[in-house]
Amino acid sequence: MAFNFNPLKLFRSMITFLSGKQKASEIDKELPFTVMLFTLMAASGIAVYDAWKKLSRIKLLPETQKEAQEVVRQVEVLGHDPLTVMYKKVENAPSKTYRDFLAGYVSSVKSGVNVVNFLRSRLRSILETQSATAFRSIERLGTLVEAYAVMLIVTLCVYILYVVLSTTATFEYLSIGASSSASDPLMYALIFLATPFITFVFMAIANLARQSNLLTVKEAYRNAAISGGAAAAFFAVVMFTPQLAFVLDALSPPGVVTLCLMAVSLPPTLVYRKIARRNFAAEEAVPSFLRDVTESRKIGLSPVKSIVHATGRKAYGTFSETLHLVRSQIEWGIPLRRIFGNVRKHIRSWPVLVYFLILVETIEFGGGSANALELLSEYSEKNRDIEANKRSTLKPYVMLAFVWSVLIALTTSIVAITILVLTQITAPGASPAMFNAMQQQIMMFSIGIIFQCWMSGFFIGKISEGTFAAGFKYSAMLAITGYVSLFLSQNYLRGMLGVVPA
């Protein structure tokens, strides 16, 4: 029986599988908030279909909004019963947790049991599952970083092997008067194509494994595009303008490359730092704020007065500025939903905005019950602890990036310059062109190592903070680390072994 292999069909199957996994992950991420809203609405006496209609207008939960819009469409256009639509969705739900929730919800409504008790029980079960999943994700991210480190070690071994083989080939070519430039394309492909491609693959995997809480960081990427264009223009002018040859003489090509990469990274680093500081402070402070609102509600204050009382505290750090704005608008009589819209202009953290949204919804259609606020506070506190544990666990892997940058730079320099010295000793009569070619290779490997260190910063930024924009900070520091390691090791070895630069 003949086996027909269709690469296109296999590729489509992989894309379908990955998109399904991505959708399931997004649904699982939103599911605690979705179930929380269902619980609040059920406790307030809102019917199942009306609850779906409200969810269809919530843009902060995009996957849930799509599901709700589909339910509303089938009910209003096709005339189906809401419970029938939910039961049919159980069969095609991409997430097992979401599938169990829908099936249990339909079953509890049909059997006549207390839906609110079922939803609260299911919510606590989902929260426990999410906590366990978060801890497992930390282990997967650690494994991914370790795999990337192994890849860099393999890359280092390939670099060393290429230096040894190319040196032998260069000696053989020049000893017979031939040109050794035939190996240059392979060297360029290895340094500037193969290694970056592998890094891009790991970055793509990290993008699937780690999601950012920030809704958008477009300003950082916009600044990177502007500074990148300016740095590329500067590099081209310096490299191809004879009048600026003194810049290359003073800095050397690796130094110019490092300077350009620094110029690309610094402006978006400053922009992202400002965004991250405000939003990370909000993520850290909002559980305490919600706890204060809950405790104020327990002692009998109205929901709005509970918010005003909680915003009066000064223990929220930079998040106090946003809460002061909330308090001022409440005192001016502005509706809570409009205040929430104003908060979105200052805060970009997705969990913080969802907490505020649920707080507003709890007050508007649930009366701001203490039990509902207690549930919201508990989840926000648990989520904060999970995120804090994730960042502290992943912090050592940031240091690992600097270790492998220094290791690659030092080891490659030591091997390359040692071979150059041994060649001078064993072949003192070789032509200067041979030594110039070998030192040219050392220079190109130095540029490739600096570029690789710079790219590694984006991988580490994605792993540690969930967004590639955080990588601009790490890429700048890693590029400097690589350049300093190369500069010190090469100059020390040249001086110690008496090698004269070409």
pLDDT at 432: 63
Would residue 104 count as lying in a domain?
Answer: yes
214 bridge partner residues: 349
pLDDT at 424: 65
Region of 466 on the Ramachandran plot (φ > 0 left; ψ -120 to 50 alpha; else beta)? left
Q: Could you tell me if 142 and 258 lie in one domain?
A: yes
Q: Could you tell me if 180 and 258 lie in one domain?
A: yes
List the structure tokens of 223: 């600044």
Would residue 362 count as lying in a domain?
Answer: yes
Would residue 312 count as lying in a domain?
Answer: yes
Angle made by CA atoms 47, 97, 110, in degrees to the nearest 5: 35
What digits encode the pLDDT tens for the residues 11-62? 454 444 445 566 677 888 888 888 888 887 887 778 888 888 888 888 888 8
Would residue 220 count as lying in a domain?
Answer: yes
Q: Could you tell me if 183 and 299 lie in one domain?
A: no
What CATH number does the domain containing 332 carry?
1.20.81
Considering its fold, how many domains does the chain have in total? 3
Q: Could you tell me if 210 and 178 lie in one domain?
A: yes
Q: Could you tell me if 252 and 158 lie in one domain?
A: yes
List the structure tokens of 426: 């064993």
pLDDT at 367: 64
Would residue 127 count as lying in a domain?
Answer: no
Domain containing residue 142: 138-269+390-497
Q: Could you tell me if 324 and 429 lie in one domain?
A: no
Maximum alpha-carbon separation in the chain: 96
155 exposure class (CB count in 10 Å sphere: 0-12, 13-18, 19+): buried
Q: Is 290:359 a contact under the CB 8 Å cutoff?
A: yes
Whole-angstrom Cα distance, residue 380 to residue 462? Answer: 23
Boundary of a domain, candidates 324, 355, 384: 384
- 3-state SS, residue 278: helix
349 bridge partner residues: 214
Would residue 17 count as lying in a domain?
Answer: no
Whole-angstrom Cα distance, residue 332 to residue 320? Answer: 18
223-233: b or e for each residue (b if 16 or more CB lie within 10 Å)?
bbeebbeebee
Would residue 249 count as lying in a domain?
Answer: yes
Q: Could you tell me if 331 and 357 lie in one domain?
A: yes
pLDDT at 412: 79
Boundary of a domain, candidates 359, 384, 409: 384
Residues whose CB falls within 8 Å of the CB of residue 127, separated by 6 or more in sequence, listed in order: 32, 379, 382
Would residue 126 count as lying in a domain?
Answer: no
Q: What is the pTM of this model?
A: 0.83
Q: Could you tell me if 475 and 357 lie in one domain?
A: no
Closest listed residue to residue 61, CA positions, set 276, 206, 211, 215 = 215
pLDDT at 172: 56
Q: Could you tell me if 230 and 254 lie in one domain?
A: yes
Boundary of a domain, candidates 336, 353, 384: 384
Q: Could you tell me if 374 and 396 lie in one domain?
A: no
Query: Strand (E) positions, 348-493?
Result: none
Q: Is 358:41 a contact under the CB 8 Å cutoff?
A: no
Whole-angstrom Cα distance, residue 316 to residue 291? Answer: 12
Q: Which residues of the chain have pLDDT under 70?
A: 1-23, 166-184, 366-368, 420, 422-435, 437, 493-502
List phi, psi (to 5°) of 16: -65, -40
Q: Could you tell me if 481 and 394 lie in one domain?
A: yes
What digits encode the pLDDT tens for the residues 252-288? 888 889 999 999 999 999 999 999 898 988 888 888 8
pLDDT at 459: 92
Q: Could you tell me if 464 and 427 lie in one domain?
A: yes
